[in-house]
Structure 1
Amino acid sequence: MSHADVHRAGDTPIKVDLIAGETYVWCACGRSAAQPFCDGSHKGTGIDPLVFVARKSEAVFLCNCKQTLTPPLCDGSHKS
């Protein structure tokens, strides 16, 4: 997958309160209407969402531009 294949869902990260032990499915394609989470809109694109389990309960900023080098976390890529 290249960055050219994904849709930019937004220009700012989304703050999410994660709960330790919970499983989350981050949208990697940018097509989901439930940003920053997957709603299945990636089907047929060849782009898979990122499934992760929160290690601890905390507030994080999840990438919405889909250009991050540290998915699912924002790394500031939306600024360039």
Structure 2
Amino acid sequence: MSDAVRAGNAPVAVEVTQGKRYFWCACGRSAKQPFCDGSHQGTGLSPLPYEATQNTRVFFCLCKQTATAPLCDGSHKLDTP
């Protein structure tokens, strides 16, 4: 099993649609961040589904260190200069 790769140093804002499912890239290797493109194959990691409960803007984590996956909890601020 591989560790997740940091895909960025800040979250990315996404306008989500109520009832739609999104698949957050948990491995950090996707070229379509913050969403999965299948790059996790062979890593032992899997994308995390997220279903929007309302039409709103959410902040998806890119550092892959969040405790509230797939949403940002500010963890990127703790380990960057």
Distance 1:57 1:38 in 2: 21
Q: 2:9 maps to what in 1?
A: 11
Q: 1:33 maps to what in 2?
A: 31
TM-score between the two structures when normalised by the length of structure 1: 0.93
* SS of equivalent residue, structure 1 residue 7: coil
Number of residue pairs matched by the alignment: 78
Distance 2:50 2:6 in 1: 21
Distance 1:58 1:52 in 2: 13
Distance 1:54 1:61 in 2: 12
Query: Matches of residues 41-80 of structure 1 in structure 2 within 5 Å?
Result: 41-80=39-78
Alpha-carbon RMSD across the aligned residues, in angstroms, is: 1.2
Aligned-pair CA distance for 1:37: 0.3
Question: Gaps (5+ residues) in structure 2?
Answer: none
- Residue 55 of structure 1 aligns with an amino acid whose one-letter code is T
TM-score between the two structures when normalised by the length of structure 2: 0.92
